[in-house]
């Protein structure tokens, strides 16, 4: 029996799309904040698609951390590829990708493992499996999480922008420094930006304890400029 196709949310601009963007959901699923991001990008002229990468797992409400840990990286990347294909079949030529937290990790991994992307913007994506949400004393199942994002950047296949908060409790500066060293050897242009006085989720306006509106505005404008440069 063939696998069910990945469900997705699609937002289109009012005029013909200038390009396409895949927005990967955060670790808490297909929430309102994700849909607002899609609609904001559609208002900028992009056709925007957001895959539900948890569709194979059917996590119970609030059990997102377990779902994130057990999600196979290759399954998530397969869903991203299928959404890129949906955009391409609608006539879109250039496709970018972005994501936050868990989906920031997959935005980075997709930039290294999904051919056909023209740009990737990863916000505070987890970089290693040694810290934060994916840390496990016994280690992770290598069949599900075979390669850390830090190691994957050796295969970077499109321009990449990574944004982090200086005080992120899940992404230490040692991981960010390792990312920079890896990107120095990459075949594609890449930029890493670290915003001071910010922790994890500084872009998420549904989390008042973490949200930093001024920084969020700057980081959003940086993303739009990056996409305009590489997608049109």
Domains delineated in the chain: 8-231 (3.40.50.1820)
Judge contact between 196 and 22, C-beta under 8 A. Answer: no
Question: 115 pLDDT exceeds 50?
Answer: yes
Question: 222 pLDDT exceeds 90?
Answer: yes
Please work out, in degrees rounded to the nearest 5, the angle formed at the alpha carbon of residue 58 by the alpha carbons of 52 and 60. 120
Neighbours of 44 (CB within 10 A): 15
Tell me what percent of the residues of the chain surpass a pLDDT of 90.
75
Angle of helix 102-113 relative to helix 73-89, nearest 10 degrees, comes to: 70
Q: Which of 35-49, 50-64, 179-193 has the lowest mean pLDDT?
A: 50-64
Q: What is the pLDDT of residue 2?
A: 43
Question: 169 pLDDT exceeds 80?
Answer: yes
Q: What is the pLDDT of residue 28?
A: 77
Q: What is the pLDDT of residue 4?
A: 61
Distance separating the N- and C-terminal Cα atoms of the chain:
40
Look up residue 170 and give its two tokens. 């899940």
- Record the pTM: 0.94
Evaluated on CA atoms 128, 134, 140, 142, the torsion sign reads negative
Judge contact between 96 and 121, C-beta under 8 A. Answer: yes
Q: What is the pLDDT of residue 162?
A: 98
Measure the CA–CA gap between 204 and 207, rounded to whole angstroms: 6
| Mean pLDDT score, 164-169 | 96
Q: How confident is the model at residue 89 (pLDDT cuts 50, 70, 90)?
A: very high
Cα distances from 40 to residues 108, 184, 220, in angstroms, run: 21, 32, 10
Going edge to edge, which strands form the sheet with 8-11? 8-11, 46-51, 19-24, 95-100, 119-123, 160-165, 190-195
Three-state secondary structure along the chain?
Answer: CCCCCCCEEEECCCCCCCEEEEEECECCECCHHHHHHHHHHHHCCEEEEEECCCCCCCCCCCCHHHHHHHCCHHHHHHHHHHHHHHHHHCCCCCEEEEEECHHHHHHHHHHHHCCCCCEEEEECCCCCCCCHHHCCCCCCCCCCCCCCHHHHHHHCCCCEEEEEECCCCCCCHHHHHHHHHHHHCCCCCEEEEEECCCCCCCCCCCCCCCCCHHHHHHHHHHHHHHHHHHHC
| Mean pLDDT score, 97-108 | 94
Question: 59 pLDDT exceeds 70?
Answer: no
Beta bridge partners of 192: 162
Question: 64 pLDDT exceeds 80?
Answer: no
Q: How confident is the model at residue 155 (pLDDT cuts 50, 70, 90)?
A: very high
């Amino acid at each position: 029996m063939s696998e069910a196709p990945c469900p997705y949310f699609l937002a289109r601009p009012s005029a013909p799309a200038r390009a396409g963007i895949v927005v990967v959901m955060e670790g808490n699923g297909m929430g309102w904040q994700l849909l607002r991001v899609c609609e904001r990008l559609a208002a900028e002229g992009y056709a925007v698609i957001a895959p539900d990468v948890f569709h194979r797992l059917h996590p119970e409400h609030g059990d997102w951390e377990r779902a994130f840990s057990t999600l196979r990286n290759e399954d998530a990347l397969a869903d991203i590829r299928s959404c890129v294909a949906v955009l391409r079949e609608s006539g879109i030529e250039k496709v970018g990708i972005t994501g936050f937290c868990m989906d920031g990790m997959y935005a980075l991994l997709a930039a290294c493992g999904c051919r056909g992307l023209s740009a990737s913007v990863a916000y505070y994506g987890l970089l290693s499996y040694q810290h934060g949400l994916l840390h496990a004393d016994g280690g992770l199942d290598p069949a599900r999480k075979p390669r850390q994002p830090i190691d994957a950047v050796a295969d970077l296949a499109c321009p990449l922008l990574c944004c982090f908060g200086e005080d992120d409790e899940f992404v230490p500066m040692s991981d960010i420094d390792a990312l920079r060293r890896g990107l120095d050897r990459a075949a594609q242009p890449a930029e890493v930006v670290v915003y001071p006085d910010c922790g994890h989720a500084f872009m998420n306006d549904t989390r008042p304890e973490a949200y930093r509106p001024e920084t969020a505005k700057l980081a959003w404008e940086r993303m739009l400029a990056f996409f305009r440069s590489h997608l049109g």
